[in-house]
A and B are shown apart, each in its own frame.
Chain A
Amino acid sequence: MPYTHTQDTLVGLFVATGIASLFFLGLQVSNLSSLSHGDTYEITARFSNSGGLKVKSSVSAAGVKIGNVKAITFDPKTYESVVKMDIDAQYKTLPDDSSASVYTAGLLGEQYVSLDGGGSSEFLKNGSKIEITNSALVLEKALGQFLFKSAEEKKAAPVDDKKGKK
């Protein structure tokens, strides 16, 4: 094929579309745009059970994402799960008596850490520890407790009936 300028243009268009689709994959499809490359500060919370929480799970306050889980380790002395979180530096006015809870998004969704603000006038800083934590809800445990409770109520119910008759 002889060399033409149309070929130049076509190759240029091809390369441009290829790179554009790469950008599309990066920005529209994956989480590249939502990654905050800004400053973060680290806080730690201890849970008696962190459930299905994973590294990179989100940390939110009032439903808005403010950071990520950085590391999850097991403390062999206290038998607790130590969760380190990176919080975006723009959210630096979280009270230091905030509580952290592990919740599930939807019934079968991913687990995330939710921070609920307290009333203190001191704020969380880099390296702060959250004292008040609520563990993840383990579905089997909750179901077990529910079944146990309803069985007890059934046992207790006839006694109540007799009392009523007297």
Chain B
Amino acid sequence: MEFFRYLGASTRASFTKLGRASYFLIEILSGLASVIVRPRLLLKQLHSVGVLSFLIIVISGLFVGMVLGLQGFYILSRFGAEETLGVMVAASLVRELGPVVAALLFAGRAGSALTAEIGLMKATEQLSGMEMMAIDPIKRIISPRFLAGFLSMPLLASLFSAVGIIGGQLVGSGLLGVDDGAYWSQMQATLDFKDDIINGIIKSVVFGFVTSWIALFEGYDAIPTAEGVSRATTRTVVNSAFSILGLDFILTALMFGEH
């Protein structure tokens, strides 16, 4: 009996949390209009969410591309197909690794920071203070951060893919002696702008939306204590990673299923 009571309580708790999160999302989206009136708020958040994630994305992208070049070369050279290295590196980066790894890094780098910032604002009663001054904290604090995350994610993901492809080329044609022309021309002949690149960008837009939403909601919903904020930050990273990987599977099945 104890077990069923626990099960019922946790089911009800997770449903109410989902409901709070959805309500929160509607509030964020209705607050977006006021962000457009004050672009300065958005600019500041673009700096802390996008610009400060720039370096980790570039360095990770470069190394992921280089490792793909190295591993791909060893396997492809068994079949004498080193010329298709460019296709392998570019397709795996643009379709999967670019959006997914960039989103995971984004959740770790920017998402956790957002949650900690909002949670701490709540713990120190800054949000209630704003409400006392008749300033809507959703419009002033949350919506600009959401829009910044939503806009940064596709840019970061395409940056990741582009740097990774260059990294693959550095290793492939610089170190292992794959023909440079074949690397690029095979890539251009195989990859389609609409099917591969646009679909990759759609993925990153979805991930940016979900990651920003989770991070902001966990911060806003955190228990206003030191421990509560630390737990909320952990939950942001864990839940973002789960949603990114789960959504990636669904999006891949929808987009690339026919081929």
Contact = CB atoms under 8 A, between A and B. Distances in A.
B51 A30 contact: no
A26 B200 CA distance: 12
Contact of B44 (A3, A14, A28, A33): A3
Contact of B197 (A17, A29, A35, A56): A29
Given A8-B43, A11-B43, A29-B165, A1 B188 contact: no
Contacts of B154: 18, 22
A5 B173 CA distance: 41
Contacts of B51: 7, 10-11, 13-14
A18 B155 CA distance: 4
A113 B51 CA distance: 48
A146 interface: no
Contacts of B191: 29-31
B162 A26 contact: no
A95 to B, nearest CB: 28
Given A7-B43, A7-B44, A15 B155 contact: yes
A119 to B, nearest CB: 32
A21 B161 contact: yes
Contacts of B46: 11, 14-15
Contact count band on B: 20 to 34
B188 A30 contact: yes
A19 B165 CA distance: 16
Interface in A24-75: 24-26, 28-35, 56
B37 interface: no
A21 B162 contact: yes
Nearest to B156: A18
Contacts of A21: 155, 158-159, 161-163
Interface string B71-103: 000000000000000000010001000000000
Nearest to A33: B188
A1 B196 contact: no
B47 interface: yes
B189 interface: yes
Nearest to B46: A11
Given A8-B43, A21-B155, A25-B161, 13 more contacts: A11-B47, A11-B51, A14-B50, A17-B54, A17-B159, A18-B152, A21-B159, A28-B184, A28-B188, A29-B191, A29-B197, A30-B187, A35-B193
Interface of A: 1, 3, 7-8, 10-11, 13-15, 17-19, 21-22, 24-26, 28-35, 56
Which 7 pairs show the lowest CB-CB distances between chains A and B? Answer: A18-B155, A21-B162, A32-B193, A30-B193, A30-B191, A21-B159, A14-B51
